[in-house]
Amino acid sequence: MGGGFLDNSLTKIRKVIEGKFFDNLQLAQLAVSHLNKGGSLTFTSGTGGHPSTASGAIVGNHAINLLVKGLSIEVASQHKRVNAVAPTWTATGLWRDLSPTQLQQQKQSIAAGIPLKRTAKVTEVASAYLYLITNDFMTGQIINVDGGVSAL
């Protein structure tokens, strides 16, 4: 998901954007007609990284945020909602290929750049999803669960 704009191949950037944005767009197009009145879609966006080191991921995350805002208006008249959670790096199953030592090193490296000087717990990120899913007056919102990264 990393690499700058000039140092990265178009193929890699497109692959990340495809996976982050277009897969979620397709999911929305398929799922929204199956939502009950009052139902919602909650996507995963993300924060962190810099354009010079995370080009595809940042474009994909911004595209998801725009998708959330646009879809929330499109489905509001149907009494349906659309939101997203935007965590920064969190030790989840996505990193299962790292050894325990590599995972700890990655965690420490990321934590150094977070204002709270630690990474999120999975439960902290999960609570944002639960909030968006259960609050019937939340739509078009992106909740950053990033320890202050988005404030930098």
152 within some domain: no
Question: Residue 60 corresponds to which tokens in the numbers above?
Answer: 């994909």
104 within some domain: yes
Question: Residue 126 corresponds to which tokens in the numbers above?
Answer: 């999960």
Query: Cα–Cα distance between 131 and 66 in angstroms, integer?
Result: 20
Residue whose token pair is 């965590």: 87
Query: Cα–Cα distance between 101 and 88 in angstroms, integer?
Result: 20
Query: Burial of 44 by CB count in 10 Å (0-12 exposed, 13-18 middle, 19+ buried)?
Result: middle
121: left (phi > 0), else alpha (psi -120 to 50), else beta?
beta
Containing structural domain, residue 106: 10-147
3 within some domain: no
Q: How confident is the model at residue 109 (pLDDT cuts 50, 70, 90)?
A: very high
CATH number, residue 41: 3.40.50.720
Local structure of residue 8 (DSSP, 8 states): S
Q: List, in sequence order, every beta strand (DSSP E) within 2-80.
A: 40-44
1 within some domain: no
**Residue 32 pLDDT exceeds 80:** yes
Provide the domain count of the chain.
1
67 within some domain: yes
Residue 54's φ and ψ, nearest 5 degrees, are -145, 50
143 within some domain: yes
pLDDT tens-digit readout, 122-139: 999 999 999 999 999 999
pLDDT at 1: 64
pLDDT at 110: 93
4 within some domain: no
54 within some domain: yes
Q: Which residues sit opposite 83 in a β-bridge?
A: 42
3-state secondary structure of 92: coil
**Residue 2 pLDDT exceeds 80:** no
3-state secondary structure of 48: coil
- Stated pTM of the model: 0.92
Cα 39 to the chain's mean position, in Å?
20
pLDDT at 25: 97
pLDDT at 48: 78
